[in-house]
Structure 1
Amino acid sequence: MEQQSLWEATANERKERQALQGEQHCDVVVIGGGFSGLSTAYHLQRKNCQTIILEKESVGFGASGRNGGEVLTGYIGSMELHAKKKGLEAARQMWQLSLDSIDLIEHIINTHQISCAFRRNGDFHAAYKPSHLDGMKREQEVMERDFDYKKIKVVEKQDLHSELNTPFYHGGRVDESSAHFHPLNYALGLAEAVEEMGGTIYEQSEALSYRKESGKVVVNTNKGRVIAKELVIVTNAYSGDFQKTIKKTIVPVESIMIATEPLSEELCQDLIKHDRAVSDTKNLLYYFRLTADHRLAFGGSGRSSSKRDQENLFNNLRAGMITVFPQLKNAQVDYRWGGKVGFTQEMLPYMGQLEDGSYYAFGFAGHGAAMSSMAGKLIAKNILHEGGGDNPLEKARLRPIPFHSQHAKAVGMMKFYMKFRDRIS
């Protein structure tokens, strides 16, 4: 399913990076060259803490370079639900963290002039059922009353045309704080910023094993090793056997995307009126947005075991796009690709330290485009002893998900995810 993505096809020029050979030393070695790993190194290098990133493939290869580029506020589930589970004060901290995450990305992009088509036009969450719109109205009241957040606007079905030209939904809500961007170009720009500050990135350098030795950590690859004071593991849904506890705690779920041929400006304006990032409330949701080169990028869930299944999934996704936007029935699909989204049992990101002292962050559950850069910053603060206990997502201990195999975990998590969405809608 890993066909070339639209983002790879339209990426800025890539810098060629060497694979690790021989022995290297640094303060912090980071496993994973996605948003979280790059951000960790970025914030450490700003404080003159020497970092090395080991990336199995190339910068942005995983979810960071394949996602929909929707930089959204919040998390899976309403903040009302999170307040009931974690307490109102913790939920307020979580919400503020999600807002700060988008501000952080915007700041990094502006500071380093990263060319990634960043647009902060908000997002539109479309109601698949009338009852879902009722839930959005309740959530708007809760956000204003309990979170002092007044940037959410509910759109009734009769006014849906002011946001989307589609017969498929029953209204929705706008959150003005969200954004969208070219995710791979952001990753590439962040990587260059890390290197400009003295960090080192090795590509085609899979971390195979590690051990603690004389107060240091030794990470082995097939052609070399890195000796460092601290270890950060941020491989998310692409975690392999490098760290068994993390592998048993994260569930990778497949997501697929298609992108149309370039559309006319008139048609783009007709489809999504204000160039917002869009997602809906279906159990197996759709998410979509316009790109800088006037395509519609359209995504959804997908899991397959054969090429025939993959073909069916992409065909079904295109049929879904046409159901939402009948205007696109004759539009050619130029790109289609897939990747993995990382989930935890709580449907919230996990950040913290393992018993051996290694730092981690994973399980962004479709909100990684926003949250993972902040995760890197928070990890860096902890390493530098600047954390201050101000992270509401920090986990004291990781517990493996009680499923018996990777396949069972994924299937079980998808069923749980659908029930979870039903409960919060």
Structure 2
Amino acid sequence: MDLLSMWEGTANNSMNRSLLEGEECCDVVIIGGGFTGLSTAYHLQEKQCSTIVLEQGKVGCGASGRNGGEVLTGYLGSMEYWTEKKGLHAAKKMWQLSLDSIDLIENIINKHDISCDFKRNGDFLAAYKPSHLESMKKDQEFMASKLNYYGIDIVEKNEIKNELETSFYSGGRVDYKSAHFHPLNYTLGLAKAAEKLGAKIYERSEATGVKRNSKNKFIVRTDKGKVIADNLVIATNAYSGDLNKIVKKSVVPVESIMIATESLPEDVVEALIKNNRAVSDTKNLLYYFRRTGDNRLAFGGSGRASSKRDQNRIYENLLEGMLSVFPQLKGTRIEYRWGGKVGFTQNMLPCIGQLKDGAHFAFGYGGHGAAMASLLGKTMAEDILEEGDPDNPLRIKKLRSIPFHNQHSKAVGVMKFYKQFQDRFFG
């Protein structure tokens, strides 16, 4: 399903980096050239810690360059839910981390003048049903009373035209701290920033094996070379292959797909999403959409295809979804369609930690990686430098495989069918 994404089609000029050949040595070798791995390299190089990044394709070819570019506060599930699960102290820290993650991205973009259409205009969560709007009102009250967060406003159904030119939704809420950007251009800019600080990035250099030598150093092999390092970072998320079975079995990859229209007249796209916010909705099989820097509508949703025929069908269904929200776009040409993988952990939270052999990992962003991945990359850098916060609520002591992981594709298919059924018949 890896069709040409709109982000690739509209990207800034990218470098053609060499592949790893021969033997290299560094302080930290990082597997994965997306948000997480590049942020780890960037923050380590800031502290004069030498890094090598190994990317199996090109920088940003995975989720970091294919996602919706919605840089959102929070996590899957409400903060009231996470307060019940983890306690108020941990929930407060979790929420602050989500705010810090967006601040970090904004600071990196400004410091290195990364051209990626970053807009911090907030996000709009659209209520699919009236009952969902009532839940948002309770959530707003909880956030203010328990987490001292007042950056949320409720939009009633009769006010929705102030946000979206649609009658599809029953209102919604605005969170003013969220943002959106061109994710691939941010990734490319982050890579260049890390390289300016001394990081080495090798593309088309898939890690094929990891072991420890007699001096307790990590040796990471590729087809044509190897890297010897004191520390190892695994930052592969939903694109984890067979390199490490524990990591692979601890994250479930779920397909997400997007389409993008042709460039629209500025007044048309401004009317669709009035305040240029990142938008998502509360359907179980959600839609998410936004304006782009070149005046397109980028529209995403859930997708899983086993054949070319299925692939065409799911994109047709997504187009129907876009037209159900914005029927005024009927006849508009779709110029791009593409898909990618989102990584989910068993408890639906991103996680960070170390394996038994000492390798560091962070993954499982559940659709919030555009925000959280850069921060967890920085956190891994701090851990390696022994500067990390041991009380980080996303830290786990032991990584455990998800039971029946090899059946996850069937389970995801059943889950999506069930959630689609819920969206149609239940509030």
TM over 0.5: yes
C-alpha distance 397-130 of structure 1, shift in aligned 2 (>3 A): same
Any conservation in 1 of the 2:208–2:222 contact (CA below 8 Å)?
yes
C-alpha offsets along residues 176-223 of structure 1, whole Å, 9 cap, x if unaligned? Answer: 000000000000000000110000000000001100112100001010
State the match for 1:199 in structure 2.
Answer: 199
State the match for 1:315 in structure 2.
Answer: 316
C-alpha offsets along residues 215-251 of structure 1, whole Å, 9 cap, x if unaligned? Answer: 1000010101000000000100000001100111100
Within 1, Cα distance between the matches of 2:413 and 2:84?
27
Amino acid at match of 1:8: E
Within 1, Cα distance between the matches of 2:345 and 2:122?
26
State the match for 1:325 in structure 2.
Answer: 326
1:113-132 → structure 2 map (5 Å cutoff): 113-132=113-132
State the match for 2:151 in structure 1.
Answer: 151
Residue 355 of structure 1 and its aligned partner are, at CA, apart by: 1.0
Amino acid at match of 1:27: D
Within 2, Cα distance between the matches of 1:319 and 1:404?
32
1:83 is paired with a residue whose SS is: helix
Within 2, Cα distance between the matches of 1:326 and 1:332?
13
C-alpha distance 344-110 of structure 1, shift in aligned 2 (>3 A): same
Residue 407 of structure 1 and its aligned partner are, at CA, apart by: 2.3
Within 2, Cα distance between the matches of 1:419 and 1:239?
31
Any conservation in 1 of the 2:285–2:419 contact (CA below 8 Å)?
no
State the match for 1:87 in structure 2.
Answer: 87
State the match for 2:21 in structure 1.
Answer: 21
State the match for 2:387 in structure 1.
Answer: 386
Any conservation in 2 of the 1:251–1:409 contact (CA below 8 Å)?
no
C-alpha distance 224-409 of structure 1, shift in aligned 2 (>3 A): farther
State the match for 1:69 in structure 2.
Answer: 69
C-alpha distance 222-409 of structure 1, shift in aligned 2 (>3 A): farther
Residue of structure 1 aligned with 2:409, choices 387, 407, 413: 407
Q: Which runs of 5+ in 2 are unaligned?
A: none
Residue 408 of structure 1 and its aligned partner are, at CA, apart by: 3.5
Within 1, Cα distance between the matches of 2:418 and 2:25?
43
Moved more, 391-400 or 284-293: 391-400
2:242 is paired with a residue whose SS is: coil
C-alpha distance 417-18 of structure 1, shift in aligned 2 (>3 A): farther
State the match for 1:368 in structure 2.
Answer: 369
Within 2, Cα distance between the matches of 1:134 and 1:407?
34
1:348 is paired with a residue whose SS is: coil
C-alpha offsets along residues 289-348 of structure 1, whole Å, 9 cap, x if unaligned? Answer: 000000000000000100000000001100100000011011110000000000011111
Residue 390 of structure 1 and its aligned partner are, at CA, apart by: 3.7
Amino acid at match of 1:265: E
C-alpha offsets along residues 366-424 of structure 1, whole Å, 9 cap, x if unaligned? Answer: 000000000100000000000131421001111111125142454466579889999xx
2:2 is paired with a residue whose SS is: coil
State the match for 2:179 in structure 1.
Answer: 179
Within 1, Cα distance between the matches of 2:30 and 2:13?
24
Give me the TM-score of the superposition, normalised by structure 1. 0.97
Identity %: 62
Residue 14 of structure 1 and its aligned partner are, at CA, apart by: 0.7
1:20 is paired with a residue whose SS is: coil
1:208-287 → structure 2 map (5 Å cutoff): 208-213=208-213, 214-287=215-288
State the match for 2:136 in structure 1.
Answer: 136
Amino acid at match of 1:215: N
Within 1, Cα distance between the matches of 2:58 and 2:388?
30
Q: Which runs of 5+ in 1 are unaligned?
A: none
Within 2, Cα distance between the matches of 1:112 and 1:305?
41
C-alpha distance 313-188 of structure 1, shift in aligned 2 (>3 A): same
Amino acid at match of 1:200: K
Any conservation in 1 of the 2:249–2:405 contact (CA below 8 Å)?
no
Give me the TM-score of the superposition, normalised by structure 2. 0.97
RMSD over aligned Cα atoms: 1.6
C-alpha distance 336-126 of structure 1, shift in aligned 2 (>3 A): same
Any conservation in 2 of the 1:28–1:228 contact (CA below 8 Å)?
yes
Within 2, Cα distance between the matches of 1:142 and 1:415?
32
Residue 84 of structure 1 and its aligned partner are, at CA, apart by: 0.1
Any conservation in 1 of the 2:342–2:366 contact (CA below 8 Å)?
yes
C-alpha offsets along residues 26-63 of structure 1, whole Å, 9 cap, x if unaligned? Answer: 00000000000000000000000000000000000000
Within 2, Cα distance between the matches of 1:230 and 1:319?
48
